[in-house]
């Protein structure tokens, strides 16, 4: 993994699980350390529909040498600007 990399939300799911396992932590241990339930850890690692981005980011930062900065929102100019009244 490179020093700076743009990640999608689905990438965070896989990374959170991978780094937790590499750290030798069970879901129960991670839940205690993060101050959440085991179900929240499970959902953070397995369920993209659950909006647990902050928990995923905390897990990656706790169990890896990486820091996650985000989310990033990009604004681009439209072809035709709308007139606001």
pLDDT digits (tens, 9 = 90+) for 38-80: 999 999 999 989 889 999 999 999 999 988 887 765 666 767 6
Least confident segment among 20-29, 30-39, 65-74: 65-74
CA 28 from centroid of its chain's CA atoms: 19
More confidently predicted of 65 and 9: 65
Claim: this prediction has a pTM higher than 0.75: yes
Determine the Cα–Cα distance for residues 35 and 21; give it in Å rounded to an integer.
18
Phi, then psi, of 59 in degrees rounded to 5? -65, -45
- Looking at residue 46, its pLDDT comes to 94
Number of domains within the chain: 1
Which CATH number does the domain housing residue 45 bear?
A: 1.10.260.40
Residue where the block lists tokens 């937790």: 20
Q: Residue 84: give the domain boundaries.
A: 1-85
């Amino acid at each position: 993994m490179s020093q700076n990399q743009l990640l999608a939300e689905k990438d965070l799911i896989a990374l959170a699980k991978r780094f937790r396992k590499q750290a030798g932590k069970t879901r129960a241990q991670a839940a205690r350390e993060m101050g959440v339930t085991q179900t929240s850890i499970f959902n953070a690692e397995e369920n993209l529909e659950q909006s647990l981005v902050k928990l995923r980011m905390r897990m990656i930062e706790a169990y890896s040498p990486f820091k996650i900065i985000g989310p990033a929102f990009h604004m681009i100019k439209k072809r035709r600007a709308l007139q606001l009244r």
